Chains A and B, each alone.
Chain A
Amino acid sequence: MGLMARVSTIFKSKVNTVLDKAEDPRETLEYSYQKQVEQLQNIRRGIAEVVTSKKRLELQMSRLQQSAAQQDENARDAVRANRDDLAQEALARKQGLESQMAGLQTQIDDLAREEARLTDLQQKLQTKVESFRTQKEVIKAQYSAAQAQVKIGEAFTGLGEDMTDVNMALQRAQDKTESLKARAAAVDALSENPAFQNDALPSSGDSIRDELNKLKASSSVSDELAKLKAELGQGDNA
């Protein structure tokens, strides 16, 4: 069996779970529209959570930007005072912050995509809920009660599939925001105390690679220091 048929099977059981939570018109024609509206509200809350997480990351980003600007200023002051050692340290911290910022930007972009996806799905589901409501009335008018029950049941299962689709997308987005929380706490600590930047080069699990990464970082600090000195007219040739 291929993957799609398997997903379809798994989905059917998920759909049943969703439908059991709603009032099933296969049992009664007069189901509660309220349940579907609740489902939509649930999705709106989910979207709001993603937006909140994204805002939190954006706030962190602006704090990191401030810290990086501060380190840049520190480096300049240090060069003016002929303190290369201090300048180097400030630049190393700045680079650590910049690498954190790059990671943060990826996450912000990721959450923005989730937000767009969920908003789109929520709008589609809203249309489907309305469509179900209309179709139900048409079916009730055209068929006998027994036939209507079957037909409405089919439409309801179709609607359940859409609800499950949205619920799964919501779950994926929630898993992502959840996994961001631990990292967010670490970034908070970093922006409050730049001395944490020692952790900016996490171990790769390969000691040779770690050494090379450190070398690369230190040479890029030297490069930036040279540039800064040139900019401030204090280069070796000045």
Chain B
Amino acid sequence: MIVRILSEGQYQVEGKTLEEITELDEELMEALTHDQPDRFHELLNRIAGLVRSGVALDISNLQESDLILPAVDTTLEEAKKLFADPA
């Protein structure tokens, strides 16, 4: 799967790492819905670390991503706004 970290780039991630990412991603969504900024940041950084352990795609790559992670310095408020924004 191709995973993009916003403001950073795209990575190819497979297997166990991808499974781990998917699990943490569920928790990340929970942290957002339960308004837990510390947990949100911790998870965001952990997931980003896992994504970066994958294979970085070449900069000239023009493939669509399967999953997109917000930029690691995204605040909980900004993330909420992202979901509230109809566009």
Contacts and interface: CB of A to CB of B under 8 A. Distances in A.
Interface in A103-139: 117, 121, 124, 127-128, 130-132, 135
A8 B87 contact: no
A14 B62 contact: no
Contact-residue bracket for chain B? 20 to 34
Contact of B25 (A4, A10, A172): A4
Contact of A127 (B32, B60, B65): B60
B70 interface: yes
Contacts of B32: 3
A154 interface: yes
Contacts of B6: 165, 168-169
Contacts of B61: 131, 158
B26 to A, nearest CB: 5
A157 interface: yes
A159 B63 CA distance: 8
Interface residues of A, number: 34
A7 B82 CA distance: 8
A5 B67 contact: yes
Nearest to B6: A165
A165 B69 CA distance: 11
A72 interface: no
A13 B87 contact: yes
Contacts of B83: 6, 10
Contact of A135 (B21, B47, B62, B82): B62
A8 B67 contact: yes
A169 B73 CA distance: 11
Contacts of B65: 8, 11, 161
B64 A161 contact: yes
Interface string B55-87: 000011111111111110000001100110101
Contacts of A212: none
A2 interface: yes
B51 to A, nearest CB: 9
Interface of A: 1-8, 10-11, 13-14, 17, 117, 121, 124, 127-128, 130-132, 135, 154-159, 161-162, 165, 168-169, 172
28 contacts: A2-B25, A2-B28, A3-B32, A4-B3, A4-B68, A6-B29, A7-B67, A7-B82, A8-B65, A8-B66, A8-B67, A10-B83, A11-B65, A17-B87, A127-B60, A128-B59, A128-B62, A131-B59, A131-B61, A135-B62, A158-B62, A158-B63, A161-B64, A161-B65, A162-B62, A165-B6, A165-B7, A169-B6
Given A2-B22, A169-B7, 18 more contacts: A2-B25, A2-B26, A3-B32, A3-B70, A4-B3, A4-B25, A4-B47, A4-B67, A5-B67, A7-B69, A11-B68, A130-B60, A154-B64, A155-B62, A161-B4, A168-B6, A172-B71, A172-B78
